[in-house]
Amino acid sequence: MKTVGSYEAKTHLSRLLEEVEKGETIIITRHGIPIAQLTPSTATSKTTIAQAIEQLRSLRQEISLDGTSIREMIEEGRRF
């Protein structure tokens, strides 16, 4: 765990964020007193665009209301 002063954190934020991205935890201090902690985000799951599209297509096939699919509802709405 790395400790940096608030001035250094302000002037070198992009470098510190790169370190955090690699898994480092950084404590930011003001006059030697810890005031903040930079930690890697737990939401690091990256879905590719292709995966997201496939998930949406799969979901679209599964959704139906009272046996009527979303596609059928859309087509029904176009008839009016």
Class of the CATH domain delimited by 2-38 = alpha beta
Angle at 22 between CA 26 and CA 33, to 5 degrees: 0
What pLDDT, on a 0 to 100 scale, did the predictor assign at position 9?
Answer: 96
The per-residue pLDDT for range 20-75, each reduced to its tens digit, is: 989 999 999 999 999 999 998 876 567 788 888 888 888 877 776 777 777 887 88
Helix (H) or strand (E) run with residue 23 in it:
none
| Domain assignments of the chain as residue spans, ordered by start | 2-38, 49-79
Identify the pLDDT of residue 72.
81
User: How far is CA 1 from each of CA 12, 36, 51, 53, rounded to the nearest angstrom?
Assistant: 17, 13, 35, 39
Q: What is the CA radius of gyration of the chain?
A: 24
Amino acid at residue number 21? E
pTM, two decimals, is 0.53
pLDDT attached to residue 80: 58
